Amino acid sequence: YCSEAYRQVLSAHGFLVSMSRKGNCWDNAVMESFFKTLKAELMWRQAWSTRQEVEQAITLYINNFYNAQRRHSALQWKSPLDHERNVA
């Protein structure tokens, strides 16, 4: 994922690549935590019939629950939206 050819393709499509120094194991910690939470709170709780059904459920989960209602310990037990309102 950090080869020059791969980074050029991403850059050609307008992506900004974020990578820290070699051997930094914390790069993906936040996203890995999010995906674990998404799987535990949404994905593993039911069987899904179609990709469209999953996409809709994930969109609703992120917009209507994860960002709007779910309290996060890193944000002093506020939702991300509440946290943004208080720091803005």
- Alpha-carbon gap, residue 1 to 18, rounded angstroms: 11
Give Cα 16 to chain centroid, integer Å: 16
Please compute the mean of the pLDDT values over residues 54-62 and round it to a whole number.
95
Q: How many domains does the chain have?
A: 1
d(CA 42, CA 36): 10
54: pLDDT confidence band, cut at 50, 70 and 90?
Answer: very high
Least confident of 13-17, 19-23, 33-37, 80-84: 19-23
Amino acid code (one letter) for 69:
Q
Q: Which domain holds residue 61?
A: 4-87
Strand partners, 72: 78
Long-range (24+ apart) CB contacts under 8 A made by 64-70 are 66/37, 66/38
Burial-class residue 67 by CB neighbours within 10 Å (0-12, 13-18, 19+): middle
Summarize pLDDT for 18-52 with one digit per residue, the tens. 777 676 666 677 788 889 999 999 999 999 999 99
